[in-house]
C-alpha cells in the first residue's frame, strides 16, 4: 500500500487534468484537485484496497465534481490561451493553425453532454480501462463502451460541422 504522500505525488497531475478536461478552467481544476486530496486524506484510513488506488481516486474526484456542480450552475469556458501556445520551433502559420485546431477541439469538447465528455476524457486522456471507468461512473462496462462510442461519433460530427463553418 502506498503512503498518502506517494499517492499525491503520483496522481495530483492526472486528477488536475481530469478536472481541467471537465471544466476548461485551470483555477477551478486546481481547487477541485485540492478538495479531492483533502477528501482522500480524510477517508484514507477507510481505504481497504479492494479497488485499485487509481479507480478509488477518480471515484472520489468524480464525487467532488458532482458536489461542486450541484452547488454551482457551471459554465464551461474554453481552454485558456496560454495552453494553446505552440513550440517556438514552429513556423508562425503552423502555430496559428495548431491554435485554431486546439481552440476548436476545446469548443467541441465543452459542447458534448457531460457524461460523454467525462467518459471521453477518462478513456482518451487518462487512458483508463473500461472496467475502471465503469467503477468510477457507477455504470456497467457495456454502458461505458456505448457511451464512449457515442461520444466519439458526436465529437467527430460536431468537429466537422464547426470546422466547415470557421
Q: For 139-151, how does the pLDDT look when each residue is reduced to its tens digit (9 = 90+)? A: 999 999 999 999 9
Contact between 143 and 112 (Cβ < 8 Å): no
pTM above 0.75, yes or no: no
pLDDT of residue 106: 80
Contact between 158 and 120 (Cβ < 8 Å): no
Q: First vs last Cα of the chain: how many Å apart?
A: 51
- Compute the distance between CA of residue 83 and CA of residue 49 in angstroms, rounded to an integer: 36
Domains along the chain with CATH numbers: 1-101 (1.10.1740), 103-165 (1.10.10.10)
Dihedral Cα 142, 148, 152, 153, nearest 10 deg: 40
Residue for grid cell 487509481: 54
Phi, psi dihedrals of residue 139, rounded to the nearest 5°: -130, 180
- Compute the distance between CA of residue 27 and CA of residue 42 in angstroms, rounded to an integer: 23
- Average pLDDT of the segment spanning 66-94: 59
Amino acid at each position: 500500500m502506498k503512503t498518502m504522500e506517494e499517492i499525491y505525488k503520483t496522481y495530483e497531475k492526472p486528477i488536475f487534468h481530469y478536472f481541467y478536461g471537465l471544466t476548461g478552467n485551470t483555477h477551478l481544476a486546481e481547487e477541485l484537485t485540492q478538495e479531492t486530496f483533502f477528501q482522500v486524506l480524510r477517508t484514507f484510513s477507510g481505504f481497504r484496497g479492494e479497488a485499485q488506488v487509481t479507480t478509488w481516486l477518480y471515484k472520489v474526484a468524480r464525487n467532488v465534481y458532482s458536489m461542486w456542480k450541484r452547488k454551482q450552475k457551471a459554465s464551461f469556458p474554453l481552454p485558456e490561451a496560454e495552453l494553446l501556445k505552440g513550440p517556438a520551433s514552429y513556423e508562425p502559420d503552423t502555430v496559428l493553425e495548431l491554435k485554431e485546431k486546439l481552440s476548436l477541439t476545446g469548443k467541441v469538447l465543452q459542447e458534448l453532454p457531460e457524461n460523454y465528455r467525462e467518459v471521453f476524457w477518462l478513456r482518451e486522456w487518462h487512458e483508463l480501462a473500461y472496467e475502471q471507468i465503469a467503477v468510477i461512473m457507477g455504470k456497467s462496462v457495456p454502458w461505458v463502451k456505448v457511451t464512449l462510442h457515442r461520444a466519439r461519433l458526436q465529437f467527430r460530427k460536431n468537429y466537422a460541422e464547426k470546422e466547415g463553418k470557421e
